[in-house]
């Protein structure tokens, strides 16, 4: 399912003394099957953009097209359920949304809201709990007896069980240990490829963005500052550093080598493997300057 934002503007609490412009003139295209990363500082409007992706917020100007649905400021929307089933959002700290007595019931909650039968929902719960790397025994436990990391995974399973076409992640790994972080990101990446999903990842981590995404949007003060493929974004790391954003370690390392030895690699490397190959071929080639 394609999603596109066209010149979207959003104001919080419009027409009160508390009015605040959150995003303006944001245009982003998310064709089916893309892995898009949205990067920016706290308060740059990333989370606001994300809530437009399944019509939780209605733009105050511009329009959002989700599949064949159009969401604009003045149109009253009915039947958003369909959109919400197709676009699953994993919010920041999703463990805060757990409420059922058992993990199984909580995972089934989403699908059953969208009219899936009990048996089908339970089948999906079994699949989803394995996808997030937990065992089936956990299904009968209370979600409030689990550890923080496990709760996070259960909440994610709850969204996966809705079987959305587009999955939107708001800093899904915040507050996890490095291993849990990698496991969860790898899982989303695997799912992305396996189910041919579109994935939108909102993150602080440049490493994650460069590793998994095939498109990156950088937000700054509520506007799109830059967009492109990771290679395009990271060819000018100085820009990003000026914004105070982190640049992946590999890119920084490559930059240092280039400075020290006065050479230029043929491409911007985004993974350690790529850079190693570049350096190896350089060394073998006898160091053309």
Partner 1 sequence: MMEKMIFGRYVPAQSLIHRMDPRSKLVIIFLFVCIVFIANNSLTYGLLAIYTLVMISLSKVPFRFIISGLKPVLWLVLFTLLLHLFLTKEGELLFQAGWFSIYEEGLRQGIFISLRFFLLILMTSILTLTTTPIEITDGLENLLHPLNKVKFPVHELALMMSISLRFIPTLMQETDKIMKAQTARGVDFSSGPIKDRVKAIIPLLIPLFVNSFKRAEELATAMEARGYRGGEGRTKYRQLSWGIKDTSMLVFLGILTALLVLFRT
47 three-class SS: helix
The yes or no reply on residue 13 touching partner 1 (CB under 8 A) is yes
- CB neighbours of 284 closer than 8 A, spacing ≥ 6? none
- Per CB under 8 A, the list member of 60, 97, 102, 220 interacting with partner 1 is 97
Write down the least CB distance from residue 91 to partner 1, Å: 5
The yes or no reply on residue 260 touching partner 1 (CB under 8 A) is no
x/- mask, partner 1, residues 153-172, rule CB under 8 A, reads -----xx--x----------
The yes or no reply on residue 215 touching partner 1 (CB under 8 A) is no
DSSP 102-162: SHHHHHHHHHHHTT--HHHHHHHHHHHHHHTT--GGGGGS-GGGS-HHHHHHHHHHHHHTT
- Per CB under 8 A, the list member of 7, 75, 81, 196 interacting with partner 1 is 81
The yes or no reply on residue 54 touching partner 1 (CB under 8 A) is yes
Length in residues, the chain: 289
> Up-side HSE of residue 176: CA atoms within 13 Å toward CB?
21
The yes or no reply on residue 235 touching partner 1 (CB under 8 A) is no
Write down the least CB distance from residue 56 to partner 1, Å: 5
- CB neighbours of 172 closer than 8 A, spacing ≥ 6? 90, 94, 152, 156, 184, 185, 188, 201
Q: What are the residues binding partner 1 (CB under 8 A)?
A: 12-13, 16-18, 51, 54, 56, 81, 84-85, 88-89, 91, 94, 96-99, 109-110, 113-114, 144, 158-159, 162
């Amino acid at each position: 399912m394609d999603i596109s934002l066209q010149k979207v503007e959003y104001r919080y609490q419009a027409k009160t003394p508390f009015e605040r412009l959150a995003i303006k003139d944001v245009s982003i295209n998310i064709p089916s099957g893309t892995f898009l990363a949205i990067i920016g500082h706290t308060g740059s409007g990333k989370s606001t953009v994300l809530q437009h992706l399944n019509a939780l917020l209605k733009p105050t100007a511009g329009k959002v097209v989700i599949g064949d649905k159009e969401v604009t400021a003045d149109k009253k929307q009915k039947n958003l359920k369909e959109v919400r089933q197709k676009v699953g959002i994993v919010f920041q700290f999703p463990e805060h949304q757990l409420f059922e007595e058992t993990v199984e019931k909580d995972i089934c909650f989403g699908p059953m809201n969208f009219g899936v039968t009990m048996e089908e929902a339970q089948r999906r719960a079994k699949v989803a709990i394995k996808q997030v790397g937990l065992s089936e025994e956990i299904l009968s436990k209370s979600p409030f007896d689990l550890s923080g990391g496990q709760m996070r995974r259960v909440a994610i399973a709850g969204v996966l069980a809705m079987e959305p076409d587009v999955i939107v992640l708001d800093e899904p790994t915040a507050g996890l240990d490095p291993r849990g972080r990698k496991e969860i990101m790898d899982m989303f990446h695997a799912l992305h490829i396996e189910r041919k999903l579109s994935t939108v990842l909102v993150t602080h981590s440049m490493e994650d963005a460069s590793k998994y995404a095939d498109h990156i949007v950088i937000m700054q003060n509520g506007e799109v500052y830059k967009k492109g493929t990771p290679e395009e974004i990271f060819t000018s790391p100085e820009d990003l550093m000026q914004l105070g954003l982190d640049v992946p370690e590999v890119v920084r390392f490559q930059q240092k080598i280039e400075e020290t030895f006065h050479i230029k690699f043929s491409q911007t490397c985004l993974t350690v493997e790529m850079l190693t190959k570049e350096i190896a071929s350089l060394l073998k080639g006898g160091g053309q300057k």
